[in-house]
Amino acid sequence: VKSPAEPDLPRTTRRATIRDVARLAGVSASTVSRVLHGAEQVAPDLADRVTSAVQALGYRHNVAASNLRRADGSSASIGVILEDISNPFFSAIHRGIEDVARDRSVLTFAGSCDEDAHLERELVEAFLARRVDGLVIVPAAGTRDHGYLGRDMQAGVAVVFVDRVPRFLDADTVVTDNARGARTAVSHLAAAGHRRIAFLGDHEHLFTAQERLRGYREALTQHGLVEDPALVLHLGVRAADASAVAIALLERAFPPTAIFSAQNLITLGALSALQQTGRQHDIALAGFDELPFAEFLAPPVPVVAQDPYALGRTAAELLFSRLDGYTGTPRKLVLPTRFGL
Amino acid sequence: VKSPAEPDLPRTTRRATIRDVARLAGVSASTVSRVLHGAEQVAPDLADRVTSAVQALGYRHNVAASNLRRADGSSASIGVILEDISNPFFSAIHRGIEDVARDRSVLTFAGSCDEDAHLERELVEAFLARRVDGLVIVPAAGTRDHGYLGRDMQAGVAVVFVDRVPRFLDADTVVTDNARGARTAVSHLAAAGHRRIAFLGDHEHLFTAQERLRGYREALTQHGLVEDPALVLHLGVRAADASAVAIALLERAFPPTAIFSAQNLITLGALSALQQTGRQHDIALAGFDELPFAEFLAPPVPVVAQDPYALGRTAAELLFSRLDGYTGTPRKLVLPTRFGL
DNA sequence: CTGTTAGCGCGTTCAT
DNA sequence: ATGAACGCGCTAACAG
């Protein structure tokens, strides 16, 4: 209910369009467009007038509108879906992607799906509705089928999976050599004489957890050890959980003499458990993923280090090679790990 | 140079448009649009035919085109500019923003400017060219003037600054109470009897570093201590630097008896220095920013904890309140810290 | 309730 | 070298 005496004064001024610029410069919109795109065949004085008008009006190019008309219809943006953008492992992947994208003036959307398949799908669709040129995805553990993406790939969207493999879809993928990394670490423990080595991993339906368990088993076999199912534990990734589970493990009647923790936060939990029970010098520990404070630990904990930044860079490179016209068969890259203190 | 015998077969199929859907469903484009937006006044059978056609063609809504025609012209996306998306402090801010944005189905662009004013500006303009509805910015230390954003704010873009204050622009801002946090920590050291307390901070032109130094000085004054300029050191944030500088500090003829390190990575460096020189039990240490592994340290290091996630959430809330129509004077929020082990 | 028309901001023909 | 006209995909306004 508004009185006619109080007209609705917009407190926001309308954005200048290319026509406004054209009018002020006394040229046509086409000429402005040409100047904006650095075309050569514009008279210098006209170009100057256009540039001044752009400045004067605070004109900002609208890439969405531009993209609509353009032939290739590239939006110069990509979408990144991670488990959690605030987890250092994933944010390093994110940064790797960003750096490669930035070199091509491509912007990056990012979203966390918190291991939720439904959220993952929602993010994919939201990105696609913004017409991203490509998608980099760390699949949620629960996603049963990525096949629906086939049609979008057909339509020209470049899709690359990182850290975990897609299901029911043949697409470019970059993962770490999880099995080999785990095998190396567990072999190290076995070589030191341990025969009862526990495996502490996260959700058993997680690709990386499965692969690391596989590596653990390979190492046992390799050293002539028999797996004791009671020593293989799967849990959530929260450090608090891991700590409680590890304490229970250590307080068993017949505890392990060594622990292989298959993930970052789990190593933290195991560390805490060893500290709380005062067993840090009795029970050996080795882990997957780097620890930022490894040097301050006594005794030191050897870890399998992956390179998440390289994971991200490599994924982005695969993505852009597709956008550059590569149409070959999907590439499956496996990046090595480094084991040590 | 292409032979006519080899026509350029597009290996990508054209995306279905709303007209394609309309044709297949035997309705008009408007009807499809109405169904897509959940309008009530469409006959159920028509709606069903539209839905099937959408499925059959793998149609994906184009929000850019939609946004172009729509009255309010909101793109349902925002841009976030941080120093480094892979730094845990900033990625926690990022996540806070994302969570608030997601509740409103708003997507998030993110970019790192690595403390480079030029990159910051480039990112801002790239986001604006994509017509983001709002911008959350952690200003680069070197940015001299954010005034250029005034015009875009006038045009309706919501702009919020986080962690550091803008220059020459009056806008919504959320920062941590850096001075008070530092004062608390340094007071703690002074109360323990220390009279020679060193300050290890990063770039002196960084807002947070300045504020923390201010807090350090307030604490000294409060405890009747006189500042010794030789004990106030500014450095880069890389832990390696901090370690070297701290070692040099400890090896002086007249070293401090306590160190206040004003940032995350610097605390890491100081810790390393104390460890390398074997002085960890002789020289007291307190730091700004949380340490993920505090519980494993001996002796424990008390720290000033900020809440970057809350910083992000709060910033996003200010942003969306603007988009919701708030037009009052810019708000300057200061979030508290928590000091302890 | 449904279809038709026009136009959002822009780039691309095609004339000139 | 420059401008006029058209259309990208979509939706607001109107007509029926």
What does the DSSP assignment read for B159-180? Answer: EEEESS--SS---EEEEE-HHH
Alpha carbon of B304: minimum distance to chain A alpha carbons (Å)? 19
Pick A86's closest partner by Cβ from B94, B129, B156.
B94
pLDDT for A7:
40
Task: Give bridge partners of residue B35 from the DSSP assignment.
Answer: none
Looking at the predicted structure, is the pLDDT value of residue B8 above 70?
no
Cα A213 to Cα A160: distance, rounded to the nearest angstrom: 25
Specify the pLDDT at position A236: 76
Q: Using one digit for the tens of pLDDT, what is the confidence trace for B250-266? A: 999 999 999 999 998 89
Position A331 confidence tier, pLDDT thresholds 50, 70, 90: very high
Structural contact between residues B138 and B161, judged by C-beta atoms closer than 8 angstroms:
yes
Question: pLDDT tens digit string along B242-298?
Answer: 899 999 999 999 999 999 999 988 999 999 999 999 999 999 999 999 988 877 888
| Residue A17 CB burial class (10 angstroms; 0-12, 13-18, ≥19) | middle
Distance of C1' in D14 from CA in B31, Å: 15
At residue B95, does pLDDT exceed 60? yes
Within 7 Å of a protein beta carbon, the nucleotides of strand C are 1-5, 7-13
Peptide bond into B299 cis (omega under 30): yes
Q: CA A160: distance to chain centroid?
A: 10
Please give the Cα distance from A135 to A108 (Å, whole number): 10
Q: How far is CA B68 from the centre of its chain?
A: 29
> Is the CB of A296 less than 8 angstroms away from the CB of B15?
no
Over residues A213-267, the pLDDT tens digits come to 999 999 999 999 999 999 999 987 666 788 999 999 999 999 999 999 999 889 9
Half-sphere CA count of B233, side-chain side, radius 13 A: 25
Q: Categorize the per-residue pLDDT at B4 as very low, low, confident or very high, splitting at 50, 70 and 90.
A: very low
How many angstroms separate the CA atoms of A10 and A8, rounded?
Answer: 6
pLDDT at residue number A177: 98
A94·B86 Cβ contact <8 A: yes
Quick one: what percent of chain B has pLDDT higher than 70? 96
- My answer on whether omega of the bond before A10 falls inside 30° of 0, hence cis, is no
The pLDDT of residue A50 is 93
Give me the count of residues in chain B.
Answer: 341
Note the Cα A278 to chain centre separation in Å: 37
Please tell me the predicted confidence (pLDDT) of residue A170. 97
Strands A338-340, A303-305: parallel, antiparallel or unpaired by DSSP?
A: antiparallel
Cα–Cα distances in Å, from B26 out to B41, B53, B59, B275?
17, 10, 15, 76
Give the other-Cβ count within 10 Å of A256's Cβ.
Answer: 22
Ranking A34-48, B80-94, B248-262, B307-321 by mean pLDDT, the lowest is A34-48
pLDDT of residue A11: 60
At A321 the pLDDT is 97
Separation of alpha carbons A200 and A235, rounded Å: 8
pLDDT > 70? residue B5: no
Asked if the model's pLDDT at residue B3 lies above 90, the reply is no
- Predicted TM-score (pTM) of the model is 0.94
Mean pLDDT of B212-227: 98
Q: Which of B68, B112, B327 sits opposite A64 (nearest CB)?
A: B68
A324 CA – D9 C1', rounded, Å: 25
Q: Taking the CA of residue B259 as centre, how many other CA atoms within 13 Å lie in the half-sphere pointing to its CB?
A: 31
Closest CA to A83 of A19, A161, A8: A161
Percent helix, percent strand, percent coil in chain A, to nearest 5: 45, 15, 40
Confidence of residue B179 (pLDDT cuts 50, 70, 90): very high
Q: What is the tens place of the pLDDT at every residue in A186-205?
A: 999 999 999 999 999 998 88
In tens, the pLDDT along A265-303 reads 899 999 999 999 999 999 999 999 998 887 788 888 999
Confidence of residue B12 (pLDDT cuts 50, 70, 90): confident
Token duo for residue B280? 């960890």
Residue A34, nucleotide of least CA–C1' distance: C11
Instruction: Tell me if B152 and A88 make a contact (CB, 8 A cut-off).
Output: no
- Is the pLDDT at A56 greater than 60? The verdict is yes
Does residue A33 approach strand D to less than 7 Å at its CB? no
For residue A41, the model assigns a pLDDT of: 79
Q: What pLDDT was estimated at residue A297?
A: 83
Q: How far apart are CA B293 and CA B341, in angstroms?
A: 11
Q: What percent of chain A has pLDDT over 90?
A: 82
Q: Residue B2: is its pLDDT beyond 80? A: no
Q: What is the pLDDT of residue B223?
A: 98
pLDDT tens-digit readout, B123-141: 999 999 999 999 999 999 9
Q: What's the pLDDT at A239? A: 67
DSSP helix/strand/coil, B333 = strand
CA distance A247 to chain B (A): 16
Most confident of the ranges A177-191, B64-78, B279-293: A177-191
State the average pLDDT over residues B67-88. 92
State whether B126 and A105 contact (CB < 8 Å). yes
